[in-house]
Amino acid sequence: MDTSHNAAGLIEVKNLSITTKTRTLVSNFNLRMHPGDRVGLIGESGSGKSMTASALMGLLPEGVSAQGSIHFAGHEGNLVDASDKQWQKIRGKDMTMVFQEPLTALNPLMKVGPQVAEIMTSHKSVPSKSAARTRAVEMLASVKLPDPQRAARAYPHQLSGGQRQRAMLAMALANKPGLLLCDEPTTALDVTVQRQVLDLILESVTELGTGLLFITHDLSVVANVCDRVLVMNNGQVVEEGSTEEVFTNPQHPYTRGLLAASDLNATDEQGRLFTVASAAAYVPPTTNELEPQAAAQPVPVPEQLTAGEPRFPLPSEAEPVISVEDLHRSYPVARSTLFGKPSEVHALRGVSFEVAAGQRFGVVGESGSGKSTLLRILAGLDQPTSGSVKVAGNQISGAKERDLIQLRQQLQIVFQDPMGSLDPRMRVSDIIAEPLLAPGQKMDSAKQRKLVAEMLGAVGLPQDAADRFPHQFSGGQRQRISIARALICEPRVLVADEPVSALDVSVRAQVLNLLSDLVDDYQLTLVFVSHDLGVVRHLCDNVVVMNNGQIVESGSTGQIYDNPQHDYTRTLVSSSMSLRSELSLR
């Protein structure tokens, strides 16, 4: 009784489990899609969502095997046991995939046009090579690459991230597949580009009637793109249903926790973000509330901050902790030809701002906006080309290493990458104690141990963490270690460089709450650099928006988000997605 070959079905997965010799990665996965269905597969890292996608494409890594059944329209038999030869006929033709990292997914030594054409010639879906070339340009035009002729002649590195992802999509759609798998296709992209690429994916699959299986950790993206959602946790689907149903009335506690932690617009009675632990009190968005535009959303700015409405620039009652004036930074670019003129990249062009003591100052910008350069200069890790930077009374521009010691006692950084920012060869206790070893500091080991223990307590890590190595911790825990290191020498200013962008949603909320608490407890001035407008909105009271090395707009958080003046800010705000706004737009 083979009912799987239902005429209307596109793909039917039954009882799929994925195992290694020692572990079960995914168990009992079921999925049924019809042509044109758009299904979201949500899960955090390690949930098995990418493994599932690999299994559906027959691309499981060595040593990992799948059991169960996969039936795909137009192909005989159970694809779990399909041979490589069989898969080659399916992959790239009837079932295609768009990957997360567009730079590594494209062959760097091959021009984009031929890469798209190759997909068609290898599946013989076009009569000739020249037809394939023409069709490739058409495909590139259909994914709205600005100049498809030129794009076809370009190498992948000559395209921007968004353009590469469009090219990937052109490849994926070239043979009009029945099913398109997207594995976090927009995670590596900037906010404004993400919105465009998502719109494009949505438009293309609707037009071609392609089924879409969209794998992501980002709930707002799913709310934007998908009709149906599967929520995965620890290799199992814990909840399944229509997007509205799952997001407004989650049944499983994990889904509820994930929703609560993702929703940066909702806070508990203490003004803190919900975490998986406190999710019970979380009220999911209701369809009722969603009907009128989401504009009516209450802005969750903590009261003491709304009261003052600090204007920018601040009236200088007190000396600002950070004052930056007409800051420029340009980098020479190595000559590409022997007689060519050496050119320069202007990372910062005329940036000025002030941060008052106790402020939570957000710096928002996309990649290439100069926010990281700004941060490095603030920390004295880089020197400006011109302009003046004063942090806690220390002039940075032109200062010698020796003069910066004072500064670094006052300003510490939390970095983005939770793995890369901790030396893998050092024990956590040594990592946290590192700032204490600055020249001129006298510190006996007993006192050092005591301070480390204190910091571990402050960031909510167990005391035995001190003797372990960074790799023994999860991403969130590593970020806590990073925060402990930054705060051990009691700085006045804490600079956070995208500290949560590499973390899972449920962990993100915890780290943001921790950061927020510590800023209060230690009376810190916080400079928070991020591309994520939602996070900045929750955490900061003042924001500057950077684009192309300049500050295009600055003001209080409420002002910027609710009434952006500059065009770029408007685009940025309208492109950034929040769970509630996406649901309300459905």
Partner 1 sequence: MAEEQVLAARTRRKLSPTLIIGAILVAAVVLAALVSFIWTPYNPVQAVPADRLQGSSAAHLMGTDRYGRDVFSGILYGARITLLVGLVAVGIALLIGTPLGILAGMRRGITEEVTMRGADILLAFPALLVAIMFGAVFGASTLTAMLAIGIGSIPGFARVARSGTLQVMSTEYIMAARASSQSSWRIARRHVMPNIIGMVVVQCSVSFAIAVLAEAALSFLGLGTPPPVPSWGRMLQESQQFLGTYPMLAVWPGSAIAVAVLGFTLLGDGLRDRFDPKLNGER
Q: Nearer to partner 1 by C-beta: 258 or 413?
A: 413
The binder of partner 1 chosen from 415, 528, 561, 568 (CB under 8 A): 415
For partner 1, the binding residue among 141, 314, 357, 404 (CB under 8 A) is: 404
The stretch near partner 1 (CB under 8 A) out of 203-211, 267-275, 284-292, 397-405 is 397-405
**Using CB under 8 A, which of the segments 147-155, 156-164, 377-385, 568-576 binds partner 1?**
377-385
Residues 350, 353, 357: CA angle, nearest 5 degrees: 155
Q: Applying CB under 8 A, which of residues 426, 460, 558, 575 lies at the interface with partner 1?
A: 426
Q: How far is the CB of 178 from partner 1 (least distance, A)?
A: 42
Other Cβ atoms closer than 10 A to 247: 27
- Look up residue 254 and give its two tokens: 């994990």
In angstroms, rounded to a whole number, what is the distance separating the alpha carbons of residues 405 and 441?
Answer: 10
- Residue 42, classified by CB atoms within 10 Å of its CB into exposed (0-12), middle (13-18) or buried (19+), is buried
Provide, rounded to whole angstroms, the least separation between the CB of residue 340 and partner 1. Answer: 21
Alpha carbon 63 to chain centroid, angstroms: 30
120, 93 contact by CB (below 8 A): no
Contact pattern from residue 92 through residue 131 relative to partner 1, giving x for each residue in contact according to CB under 8 A and a dash for the rest? ----------------------------------------
In the complex, the smallest distance separating the C-beta of residue 443 from partner 1, rounded to whole angstroms, is 13
Question: Any contact of residue 371 with partner 1 (CB under 8 A)?
Answer: no
544 binds partner 1 (CB under 8 A): no
Q: Closest CB to partner 1 among 50 and 416?
A: 416
Name every residue whose Cβ is closer than 8 Å to that of residue 239 and which is 6 or more positions away in sequence. 229, 230, 231, 246, 250, 251, 252, 254, 255
Report the amino acid identity of residue 447.
K
Nearest residue to 553 (alpha-carbon basis) of 577, 575, 570, 569: 569
Does 411 interact with partner 1 (rule: CB under 8 A)? yes
**CA atoms 413, 414, 418, 424: torsion sign:** positive
Counting contacts by CB under 8 A, is residue 482 touching partner 1? yes
* Nearer Cβ to partner 1 (280/419): 419
Residue 456 touching partner 1 (CB under 8 A): no
Distances in Å between the Cα of 253 and the Cα atoms of 188, 210, 233, 270, 503 are 29, 32, 11, 22, 20
Residue 467 within binding range of partner 1, rule CB under 8 A = yes
Rounded distance between C-alpha atoms, residue 91 and residue 88, angstroms: 5
Of residues 391 and 540, the one with the C-beta less far from partner 1: 391
Selected range binding partner 1 among 72-80, 130-138, 186-194, 481-489, rule: CB under 8 A: 481-489
Which residue, chain included where needed, has tokens 């003797």?
467
* Residue 405 contacts partner 1 per CB under 8 A: yes
Among left, alpha and beta (phi > 0; psi -120 to 50; other), residue 350 is: left
Coil, helix or strand at residue 177: coil
Among the residue ranges 79-87, 314-322, 435-443, 536-544, the one whose residues contact partner 1 (CB under 8 A): 435-443
Binding piece for partner 1, criterion CB under 8 A, among 36-44, 101-109, 288-296, 401-409: 401-409
Q: Which of 256, 485, 508, 537 binds partner 1 (CB under 8 A)?
A: 485
- Of 410, 417, 441, 442, nearest in space to 498 by CA: 417
CB 112 to partner 1: min, Å: 29
Q: Contact between 443 and partner 1 (CB under 8 A)?
A: no
- Cα dihedral 426, 429, 435, 437 sign: negative
- Interacting residues toward partner 1 by CB under 8 A: 376, 379-381, 401, 404-405, 408-409, 411-413, 415-417, 420-426, 430-431, 434-435, 437-439, 466-467, 469, 471-472, 482, 485, 489
